């Protein structure tokens, strides 16, 4: 196990230390990021590992940086759903440079961007990213009545939230709208209330996600992705990150990958082989989010039912 780096943030060290304590009691500690599909995936993996390898597995909540640092330190062993390019800086550091983390090569394809309900697009003509700089069109999005329309750009701690700040600056709607950051469950609750009441809604969207199962949503039109228009500097790398960054075209198609600590290959090679074989049908992630967030099914129950009903998928993870 690697020692914690002396320059690690205090909060990271505290969480990683907690995970390390758990790791003494458990054979493997799986990270649980703060969105429903990842929570479901970690619980599914826990069941499969315990039932097929006889190991004790614990789950540990954590942000993306915390989970990567803990995998590097050996106190956590899995991040179930790493978004790329969103987490490219963490991937580069721990997979390509430190080589303490391994990426599964069977990704789920993903899409992300700013979206509105179809009702909002049809009723108010908000269909393009450029509409967000039109004060007349977006006036309906001023929910608190302070004279400035609001737009939810994601949760604090999400890499996509940083990039959405950059995109808002690049397109200019940071000058016409208030960029709001808060937990996704709150935003999705607001989306549900707006959809049910035929009220306008706008926010950051990504799929696979249950909101596309539950509601009729459309992405705002914008120029196709052009890498020449994207320069992303992370806040952790430069205090002037925002002014040095730009992103004035659509997101590039994203991929979701399981990542795991390289030391698993030495300690539990059969489990590492399963992680390498692992793939998750994208519709499962949308269904998981819907069942957990809308139907309030306990995650443990969802995981048990999924494993029992998808023995063919699990068998491929174990034998492929």
Q: What confidence score (pLDDT) does residue 8 get? A: 39
CB atoms within 10 A of CB 143: 15
Q: What confidence score (pLDDT) does residue 320 get? A: 67
Q: What confidence score (pLDDT) does residue 157 get? A: 83
Write the CATH number of the domain with boundaries 110-247. Answer: 3.40.190.100
Q: What confidence score (pLDDT) does residue 229 get? A: 97
61 burial via Cβ count (<10 Å: 0-12, 13-18, 19+): middle
Q: What confidence score (pLDDT) does residue 57 get? A: 98
Check if CATH label 2.60.120.560 holds for domain 10-107+255-319: no
Q: What confidence score (pLDDT) does residue 159 get? A: 85
pLDDT along the chain (320 residues), means of 10: 36 44 73 92 98 97 95 97 92 97 95 97 98 97 96 92 97 98 93 96 93 94 96 92 97 94 98 97 88 91 96 92
Q: What confidence score (pLDDT) does residue 237 get? A: 87
How is the chain split into domains, by residue range? 10-107+255-319, 110-247
The structure's pTM equals 0.76
110-247 and 10-107+255-319 share a CATH fold: yes
Q: What confidence score (pLDDT) does residue 3 get? A: 35
């Amino acid at each position: 196990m690697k020692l914690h780096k002396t320059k690690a943030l205090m909060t990271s060290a505290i969480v990683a230390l907690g995970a390390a304590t758990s790791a003494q009691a458990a054979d493997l500690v799986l990270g649980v990021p703060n969105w429903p599909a990842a929570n479901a995936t970690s619980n599914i993996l826990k069941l499969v590992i315990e039932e097929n390898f006889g190991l004790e597995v614990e789950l540990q909540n954590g942000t993306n940086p915390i989970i990567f640092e803990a995998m590097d330190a050996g106190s956590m062993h899995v991040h179930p759903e790493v978004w790329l390019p969103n987490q490219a800086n963490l991937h580069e550091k721990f997979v390509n440079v430190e080589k303490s983390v391994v990426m599964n090569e069977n990704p789920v394809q993903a899409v992300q961007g700013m979206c509105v309900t179809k009702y909002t697009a049809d009723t108010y003509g908000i269909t393009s990213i450029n509409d967000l700089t039109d004060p007349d069109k977006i006036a309906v999005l001023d929910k608190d009545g302070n004279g400035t329309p609001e737009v939810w750009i994601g949760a604090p701690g999400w890499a996509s939230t940083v990039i959405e700040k950059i995109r808002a600056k690049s397109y200019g709607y940071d000058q016409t709208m208030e960029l709001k950051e808060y937990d996704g469950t709150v935003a999705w609750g607001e989306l549900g209330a707006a959809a049910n009441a035929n009220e306008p809604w706008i926010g950051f969207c990504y799929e696979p996600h249950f909101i596309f199962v539950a509601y009729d949503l459309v992405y705002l039109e914008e120029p196709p992705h052009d890498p020449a228009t994207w320069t992303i500097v992370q806040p952790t790398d430069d205090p002037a990150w925002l002014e040095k960054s730009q992103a004035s075209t659509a997101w590039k198609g994203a991929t979701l990958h399981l990542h795991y600590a390289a030391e698993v290959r030495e300690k539990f090679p059969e489990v590492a082989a399963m992680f390498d074989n692992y793939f998750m049908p994208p519709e499962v992630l949308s269904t998981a989010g819907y069942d957990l967030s809308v139907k309030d099914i306990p995650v443990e129950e969802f995981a048990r039912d999924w494993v029992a009903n998808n023995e063919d998928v699990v068998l491929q993870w174990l034998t492929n």
